[in-house]
Every structure is written in C-alpha cells, then in structure tokens.
Structure 1
Amino acid sequence: MKLLVIEDDAKTAAYLHQGLSEHGFIVDTVAGGDDGLHLALTGRYNLIILDILLPQRDGWSVLTELRRHEVQAPILMLTAQDAVPNRVKGLELGADDYLVKPFAFSELLAHVRALLRRGPSRQPEILNLADLQVDLLRHRAQRGGTKLDLTPQEFALLSLLIRHTGEVLSRTLIAEQVWDINFHSDTNVVDVAIRRLRRKVDEPFETRLIHTVRGVGYVLETR
C-alpha cells in the first residue's frame, strides 16, 4: 500500500518514512502544502498523512482542495494543537482521523491500519490466488500454508502484483510503485527483484504464478 506524508518538519518526516517503510508501506514524503496537494491529486495513494502547519499552504487548505476534487483516500491529520475546535474543524472539512503531536509511532501505525481497514479506498485485507495468500495489513504472505520470509521490498512487490492479478505490469510502473516515482527504469533492478521473489514464491512449489511477458513486464496469474 502506498502512503503520502505531507510534513514540513524534516525529522518527523524521516521518522515516519523509516517507520512506515519498515512495516512494508511504500511512502512518499513532501514538505510543502502546494507540493503535497499536487502529489495527492496526481498520485494513487491509499492514505494521506497531513500536517496542519505547512509552508506554501496550510493543511486545512490542502484538505479542503482534496475533498473538493473528490480524492477518496483516508486522511490522517497531524497537529501540535490539541484544542477541540481544531479537531472538529478537521473532521468537518473531511478528515478521517486526527493525531496530536508528539505521538508514539505504534499509536500512529494503529491509526493508519484502522483507517485502511475502514477507509473508502480500502481493498480486502487478505488477497488470494491459488494457494498464495497475502495479508496486506499485517504484511504476511504464505503459500500452501507455508509462511514466506519476504523482505519489506519483496512484500511490496508481491502486494503490487497480487492487487493487479491478471494485469501485465510494465517495469516502469513496477519501479514507480515499489521504489521511487523518479526511478530510472533503464536499470535491471526490477528484473533482479523479480528473480529474488520467484525463488521464494514460485521455485519451492509446483505451479508458477509470476510470469514474464516478453518486452512488456510481469503478471501474477494462474496458467
């Protein structure tokens, strides 16, 4: 799942990026309100974490514009202000949840997972294909009842493939979604990552699920 963090404090942004990435999320971070609004409107995010006090435009304005453009991703507001009117304002403008700084990362992670479970853009928590099962929220995968020992990056790659079962994904799209939006797809990092994932997901089992479409990319499906 892909998250956007709009937070101008560099330490907080780095803290969130590292913690959420370690739990298997794909995370983009941006410091300014205008830049954050642009990414939120043009990207495909499952959830947005939005600070209120931002340069360029504040979080209230970003929130208002996102809902005006009918962006359906759940929005978690972050603020150092614990006043009830601020919380009410955020909820009335379309925020889904509210977290006051300072906060424990475990608390933020619980809020994120709860929003993803009930958010309007959520997918099923557990996806299945043949004997492969992927738990998107708990970041666990198993095949034939055997737990797959995946790195966070491998899990992100497998999650992308199973969320698009039967759809051929180009190397460029995979690189953009799993690594970075500015990733240069002329390297073989996608092919290397697919080979490593196949060793864990396919090679120990009789039926192959990850297939190469020559000249295009990769697809997860039964054949």
Structure 2
Amino acid sequence: MRVLLVDDEVDLAESVRRGLTNEGFVVDVAHDGVTGAWLARENPYDVVVLDLMLPGRNGYAVLEEMRAAENWVPVLMLTAKDGEYDQTDAFDLGADDYLTKPFSFLVLVARLRALIRRGAPERPVVLAAGSLELDPVRRTVTRRGQRLELTAKEYVILQYLLQNKEQVVSKLQIMDNAWDADFEGSENIVEVYVGYLRKKIDAPFGLSTLQTVRGMGYRLVSDEPGAPGP
C-alpha cells in the first residue's frame, strides 16, 4: 500500500512516515505543494495525505490539479484549520476525508485503510446538454469551451435543470431543489434566476436553450440539431 504524504511540518511528517512504515505502508514524503503535485502526477498511489497550508502551492491547488488531471486516488486532507468552510471547500474540490491537527495516529491509520478499501471512485459524470457542460467535481460550467461564471444559486438551478434536461420542471420543483424549507419568498424568484441564467448560458451565444413552457415551467434543451424547439 503506497501512500503520498505532503506536509511542510518536517518533524510531524517524519513521525507519521515512520508510523505508517511500521504499519506496512510504503510512504513517499513531500514538504511543499509543488513537489507533492509532481509526485502525484508521476507515481501511482493508493491514498494521498495532503496538508492544506503548504509552501509553493497550497493543498487546495494540489487537489484541484489532481482532479483536473482525472487522478481519482483517495485524498485525506490534513489541516490545523477547523472551519466548516475549509472542510466544504476541500470536499467540493474532491477530497475524500478530512482530519484536523492535532490528530490521533490510530485514527489516521484507520481512515487511510478505509479509504484504500473503498478505492478510487469512478469519475463523476459531467452533466451536459449539447455544448453546455457542468462538471460537478471541478464545479465549472462551460459552453463551447468557454468558462461561464455563475453564482452559487445559479449553479444549483442549472445543475437541477441539466439533471432533468429535455423535461419540463415547474417553478415549485426548482424551488424545492434550490431553496431550503425556510424560504418564504414567492415562486417568482425562480423567474428572476432563470433570467440571470439565460443572460449567461444562452444570450452570449445567440441561443434559446432555456425555454419557458407556458403554464408548466421550464425546460433546458440541447443546442444540437434535433433538439426540441420552444
């Protein structure tokens, strides 16, 4: 079982390396993000232990590069930061687990063994409707190869529409998937966000793929030949 450990705390990294070696792991160590990213590209690993705060390139950037290169080896993030946003960002970029320093070595080993048993997950499917693509791992949206910048709410709505492409979905269905139960606003908020999306995914390309179906709701169609008309 081969492990890549990327941590700039030299004493801690050496202690973890010795412990993992005693547990039967083969361990490669890097003390900066640039070296860690290079090792992850050049070698096959069963699991990667990746510190968040690294010189040269931080853990977020290393993880993002790995996933962009379709390297799906399980990654456990290590960090001294304990904020929920740090954890969310790590998971959004494709991390598989998260430990906050200081941590129990026994817990680290148990989690690494669990990740190795689980193995590398299959690459998540990119959602697409013709030239419009949404990558749920990279959290990117592109049309004709051009990256589109969406707000978090726009992204969630578009993801739901793509999951139900070519189908009519009501305002209520969109609200149920994009707003929580405490939201007390009108369904008309959906119209506002649909308008925002059209300005970003359709208008710059001369398209009308986000259609209004009168009295029923909305439908996202492909811009390829043979797609349903308005």
Q: Map 1:97-176; keep pairs closer than 5 Å.
A: 97-120=97-120
What are the ranges of 5 or more consecutive residues in structure 2 without an aligned counterpart?
122-230
Distance 1:81 1:8 in 2: 15
Look up the match of 2:50. Answer: 50
- Three-state SS of the structure 2 residue aligned to 1:44 is coil
Given the alignment of the two structures, is residue 60 of structure 1 paired with residue 55 of structure 2, yes or no? no
Residue 119 of structure 1: CA displacement?
2.4
Whole-angstrom distance in 2 between the partners of 1:90 and 1:102: 18
Which residue pairs with 2:36 in the alignment?
36
Task: Flag the structure with more relative contact order, 1 or 2, with Cα contacts below 8 A and sequence separation at least 6.
Answer: 1
TM superposition shift of 1:58? 0.3
Alignment of 1:175-186 (within 5 A): none
Residue in structure 1 matched with residue 21 of structure 2 by the alignment: 21
Equivalent position amino acid for 1:2 in 2: R
For the residue of structure 1 that corresponds to 2:102, the secondary structure is: coil
1:80 maps onto 2:85 in alignment: no
CA distance in 2: counterparts of 1:30 and 1:50, whole angstroms: 10
CA displacement 1:39-79 (0-9 Å, x = unmatched): 00011111000001000010000000000001111000000
Alpha-carbon distance in 2 for matches of 1:72, 1:80: 24
Structure 1 runs of 4+ aligned residues shifted over 3 Å read none
TM-score normalised by length of structure 1: 0.53
Q: Which residue of 2 aligns with 1:10?
A: 10
User: Cα offset for 1:117?
Assistant: 1.2
Give secondary structure in 1 for the equivalent of 2:4.
Answer: strand
TM-score by length of structure 2 reads: 0.52
Task: Structure 1 unaligned segments of length 5 or more: list them.
Answer: 122-223
CA–CA separation in structure 1 for the residues paired with 2:85 and 2:48? 22
> 2-side partners of 1:3 and 1:21: how far apart?
10
Deviation string, structure 1 residues 153-193 (Cα, Å, up to 9, x no partner): xxxxxxxxxxxxxxxxxxxxxxxxxxxxxxxxxxxxxxxxx
3-state SS of paired residue (1:48): strand
The Cα RMSD (Å) is 1.3
Q: Which amino acid aligns with 1:92?
A: D
Indicate the SS of the match to 1:78.
strand
Could you say which residue in structure 2 is the equivalent of 1:71? 71
In 2: Cα distance, 1:77 partner to 1:120 partner = 15
Aligned amino acid, residue 78 of structure 2: L
